[in-house]
Structure 1
Amino acid sequence: MSARPTMREVAALAGVGIKTVSRVVNGVPTVAPELVERVRAAADQLGYRPNLTAANLRRTGGRTNTIGLLLDDVSNPYSGVVLRAVEDFAREHNVVVLAASLDEDPQRERELTRALVNRRVDGLIVQPAGGDQRHVLTEQQAGMSFVLIDRLPEPLLADAIVSDNRGGARLAVEHLLRTRRRTVAYLGDDLAIQTARDRYAGFTDALSAAGLRPDERLVRHGLRTAEQARAVARELFAAHAPEAVFTSQNLVTIGAVEALHELGMESRVALVGFDDIPLAAIVRPGVSVMAQDPAAVGRLAVGRLFARMAGDTSAPAAHTVPTRLIPRGSGELPRL
């Protein structure tokens, strides 16, 4: 573990006084732009992070009793369950959770990671927005503990907790095919997202095992919201009327279910969605899903984070949480 660079070292590298560095760090507007650039460049080169809670750290032996949790969208049902599981565990240990949304924005991920590190959180759980997490290396080398969830980074820089996305998607589509349906639509998220790629791979795995190929007319990627999925599903179902549909995330499932009901096709087109949705058992037919276990993901992630903060130096490892099929009716419709 290396020592964190100091303000004095930044001043020396930038060729300015320590008071100038202090003014730049604290956002004092009277510093000349040229000096601001020199100080920021020196800080970035050294990996310097301002100590915003030095007095408190001295009182608590270097601990702030806070951890950070960066999720794609804290309003998403999956994220909400993860957050609650992490909060419940942390509360038992008198630790506060600071949570924020990344909105699938890698730049926002880097900025919020830095902001939480600047506030000296004791560790971070991150649902990565991008595929490159090398920005955490400097913080790891300085002693910060990280755990990643939902997506498996390459290379594996920290412990990762992920669901069985590919295997779960394959089982979901195989379940649809057991109803003797052969034209299966796919509605999914952006393929730039690893979970979306894995679930689409599971979809194609199931079709291939049954001697089928994806019909590109029935495949739609890049769906992020329920409203977007609803509009795309209405257009697709009206034009091509597939026998079944697999939806790769919860908001897409909500939009697809709405479209089927609006078109009067909910009793003809079988559907299984990846991840559970609110009120799935209330609508008719009930919505069959391949459910993740976000509470288990949250518990495993925060458990690993606390172990790391306590001094566990074992090699980073990936942990896969199984998914399970919940048949409620929509995925079991008899073929007409």
Structure 2
Amino acid sequence: MNSRRPTMRDVAREAGVALKTVSRVVNNETGVSPQTVERVTEVIHRLGFRRNDMASKLRAGRSAASIGLIIEDLGNPFYTTIARGIETVTYPREQFLVTASSEESAERERAILLELCQRRVNGMIIVPTGLDHSFLQHEIDLGLEVVFLDRPGAGISADTVLLDNLAGAMSATEHLLSLGHRRIAVLGHDETIWTMRERHAGYRAALARAEVAYDESLIMLGPLTPDEAQRATAELLDGANPPTAFFACNNRMTVGVLSELRHRQESIDVAGFDPIETATLFSHPVTLVTYDAAELGRRAAHLLVERLEGRRTPQQVVVPTTLVTYGQSAGSNAKRRRRA
């Protein structure tokens, strides 16, 4: 199996034509007979040759690499911090980052990945949305290197960098349980997302350890934006048997929960997954599952660099989390609500 991507020289040799002829065919220039175009095109498809659209931008005599970064949401500070972490590793090596957002769409993700392959990026760091990435195997066989970040990929063997989502969610839930809460609501994404499954599992494991019954009526899966999380919080609080505490499964949902509690002037304990830069400014107490998002990016970038330098055995790195409380707990409110 060929361990590198085919070049124009490979195509020229296989087709029995001059290098300039291949260049003319690739760039749709005139001066080549239809028969030769057909022969060169057949060889291009057979070898899997892709034009390097960035080659013209590289300085003469210098080599450079481009890294594709595919994330969920460019507007989420979690991902911008990860990107900064990656660049601290790649930029000094003249490996330049090309970033795009999948917007949690498997179809969009696939289109972006294939477009980056067309542009001949040297490696990719992917926060996966789709459930099958086997379509990248051909590119990997031709030399593409891939690292999955924050969630495991599927269908191909690749390096992976993950948070300890299960342990982080367990610690957040155990914290709320330690304050006396037994009706802890959960706001999260759909469980088709791996991180949400892990965080939900951590919540359930903490309840089971404390011998607290799991209550489906307290689970709101699907909120995506802070506004949607705020509406979900209102719906839960307006129910016949409202929760006494909240566990929000990401930073944007934490903001939505706190917004609704501020609107109601309610003092209810909240735990959230993900650090929030402005947490020290919150008037409402909040406990957060924190970690170094930039370190996630650095770990992924280092793995990719090692791959580009020849390492072949896939590795998995798990980054630990820490529980940090900002402000004074409203834990006594749990007792008040249970007596009501």
Report TM bin, short chain. 0.7 to 0.9
Gaps of 5+ in 1: 27-38
Distance 1:132 1:60, change over 3 A: farther
Q: Report the 3-state secondary structure (helix = DSSP H, G, I; strand = E; otherwise coil) of the residue aligned with 1:50.
A: coil
Gaps of 5+ in 2: 16-20, 30-40
1:153 CA displacement: 2.5
In 1: Cα distance, 2:96 partner to 2:27 partner: 30
Give the conservation status (yes or no) of the 8 Å contact 1:188–1:248.
yes
Report what 1:264 is aligned to.
265
Report what 1:174 is aligned to.
174
Counterpart mapping for 1:108-119 below 5 A = 108-119=108-119
Q: Report the 3-state secondary structure (helix = DSSP H, G, I; strand = E; otherwise coil) of the residue aligned with 1:180.
A: coil
In 1: Cα distance, 2:110 partner to 2:3 partner: 21
In 2: Cα distance, 1:195 partner to 1:330 partner: 29
In 1: Cα distance, 2:23 partner to 2:146 partner: 33
1:311 CA displacement: 1.3
In 2: Cα distance, 1:104 partner to 1:333 partner: 36
1:3 CA displacement: 4.9
In 1: Cα distance, 2:163 partner to 2:199 partner: 11
Residue-by-residue CA offset, 1:60-84 (whole Å, 9 max, x unaligned): 57x4332111111121011011011
1:156 CA displacement: 5.8
Out of 300, 313, 316, the position equivalent to 2:314 is 316
Q: Report the 3-state secondary structure (helix = DSSP H, G, I; strand = E; otherwise coil) of the residue aligned with 1:290.
A: strand
Report what 1:228 is aligned to.
228
Moved more, 274-283 or 49-58: 49-58
Report what 1:89 is aligned to.
89
Give the conservation status (yes or no) of the 8 Å contact 1:82–1:294.
yes
Distance 1:277 1:92, change over 3 A: same
In 2: Cα distance, 1:181 partner to 1:54 partner: 60
Report what 2:256 is aligned to.
255
Amino acid in the other structure paired with 1:138 = H
Report what 1:129 is aligned to.
129
Report what 2:18 is aligned to.
none
TM-score by length of 1: 0.84
1:154 CA displacement: 3.9
Distance 1:278 1:115, change over 3 A: same
Counterpart mapping for 1:1-336 below 5 A = 1-4=2-5, 22=26, 43=45, 47-55=48-56, 59=60, 63-154=63-154, 157-239=157-239, 240-265=241-266, 267=267, 269-313=268-312, 315-329=313-327, 333-334=331-332, 335=334, 336=336
In 2: Cα distance, 1:261 partner to 1:215 partner: 26
1:18 CA displacement: 7.7
Residue-by-residue CA offset, 1:40-77 (whole Å, 9 max, x unaligned): 9x95x86553332455679557x433211111112101
In 2: Cα distance, 1:4 partner to 1:145 partner: 12
Give the conservation status (yes or no) of the 8 Å contact 1:288–1:330.
no
Q: Report the 3-state secondary structure (helix = DSSP H, G, I; strand = E; otherwise coil) of the residue aligned with 1:199.
A: helix
In 2: Cα distance, 1:286 partner to 1:87 partner: 34
In 2: Cα distance, 1:163 partner to 1:332 partner: 28
In 2: Cα distance, 1:209 partner to 1:325 partner: 19
In 1: Cα distance, 2:251 partner to 2:153 partner: 23
1:214 CA displacement: 2.0
Between Structure 1 and Structure 2, how many residues are aligned?
Answer: 314
Report what 2:37 is aligned to.
none
Q: Report the 3-state secondary structure (helix = DSSP H, G, I; strand = E; otherwise coil) of the residue aligned with 2:281.
A: coil
In 1: Cα distance, 2:323 partner to 2:100 partner: 30
Moved more, 280-289 or 80-89: 280-289
In 2: Cα distance, 1:119 partner to 1:188 partner: 36
Q: Report the 3-state secondary structure (helix = DSSP H, G, I; strand = E; otherwise coil) of the residue aligned with 1:277.
A: coil
Q: Report the 3-state secondary structure (helix = DSSP H, G, I; strand = E; otherwise coil) of the residue aligned with 1:254.
A: helix
Residue-by-residue CA offset, 1:242-283 (whole Å, 9 max, x unaligned): 111111011111101111111222x1x211000012321212
TM-score by length of 2: 0.83
Give the conservation status (yes or no) of the 8 Å contact 2:6–2:142.
no
Q: Report the 3-state secondary structure (helix = DSSP H, G, I; strand = E; otherwise coil) of the residue aligned with 1:242.
A: coil
1:212 CA displacement: 1.6
In 1: Cα distance, 2:80 partner to 2:133 partner: 23
Rg larger in 1 or in 2?
2
Give the conservation status (yes or no) of the 8 Å contact 2:134–2:154.
no
Give the conservation status (yes or no) of the 8 Å contact 1:234–1:263.
no
In 2: Cα distance, 1:152 partner to 1:158 partner: 9
Amino acid in the other structure paired with 1:327 = T
Report the aligned-residue RMSD: 2.9
Give the conservation status (yes or no) of the 8 Å contact 2:133–2:156.
no
